[in-house]
Amino acid sequence: LVVRPENLRMARAGEGRGGLPGTVTFVRPIGPLLEFEVETATSVRLKITSVRARDALPFGLGDAAYVELADPQACTVFAA
């Protein structure tokens, strides 16, 4: 399964549709974008890119987050 970082989104507990729980391990503002890395309980690291809203950093290092698909249609499945 391949998902581009911009096709993932982060939510706090109770705000999203479930997703994979993890901890924010990397945050980098890049102009109008924010790059995040979230490490799951199984040590999988997921990269997320989102548009920044008015200089807000919705998640900081060490914050708990749930990673969800922003659009399930944007996923690609490759045979192993």
Q: Measure the CA–CA gap between 78 and 80, rounded to whole angstroms.
A: 6
Q: Specify the pLDDT at position 56.
A: 62
Pick the closest to residue 19 from 73, 65, 75, 74 (CA basis).
Answer: 65
Q: How far apart are CA 79 and CA 67, in angstroms?
A: 24
Q: Tens-of-pLDDT digits for all 80 residues of the chain?
A: 788 999 999 998 778 777 899 999 999 999 889 999 999 989 999 999 998 877 566 899 999 999 999 888 888 888 87
Query: What is the CATH superfamily name and number for domain 5-74?
Result: Nucleic acid-binding proteins (2.40.50.140)
Instruction: Provide the residue ranges of all domains of the chain, joining segments of one domain with +.
Output: 5-74
30 DSSP 8-state letter: E
Per DSSP, the three-state class of 72 is helix
